[in-house]
Amino acid sequence: MSLKKLVVIRNANFMTEGSVGEKQAETLVERLAPIIGSVSPIVLTSPRESARKTAKSICKKFRVRWFSASDALWCTREELTSKAPQSLTLIEEHWDDSEIIIIITHANYMDWLPKAFAEKFLAVDLDGGDIGYTRGWVIDCVNKTIVQV
């Protein structure tokens, strides 16, 4: 087994009053269903509560093989250039564990991670860019493409 898709998702907004985060996470799961299909993905998440709650919604829907919170998926904007490369190491460590890895992280990583991953592992320039809550990027490692989800 080898990684075929990397899905990088920005966490749901659980900081607001009411059930905004839950609704965002439910909608995200619906958007991911055709991408995940019958594959049992690995979910890697930031240790922050909003990312973990988003990950739990995904884990409920799909047959998750592995779920882990990692400090490599959280940092401040000031720490990004020094700490974010650890997220690439984390992906590399799980490369052969599933055909799909889902990363749940935060705004800081959403413009950096897809581009850095594509450059390092696929030798292509795939610029993801900034993205809103519970939106993300699906990187097809076979066809070397990126699409928004």
75: left (phi over 0), alpha (psi -120 to 50) or beta: beta
Parse the chain into domains and list their residue ranges.
Answer: 5-148
Rounded Cα–Cα distance for residues 142 and 93 (Å): 19
pLDDT tens digits along 109-118: 888 888 899 9
Q: Are 10 and 136 in contact (CB under 8 A)?
A: yes
pLDDT tens digits along 29-57: 899 999 999 998 999 999 998 888 888 88
User: How open is the CA angle 85-5-110, to the nearest 5 degrees?
Assistant: 45
Specify the pLDDT at position 104: 92
Residue type, 99: E
Fold for the domain defined by 5-148? Rossmann fold (3.40.50)
* Whole-Å CA distances, 52 to 26, 81, 82, 145: 14, 23, 23, 27
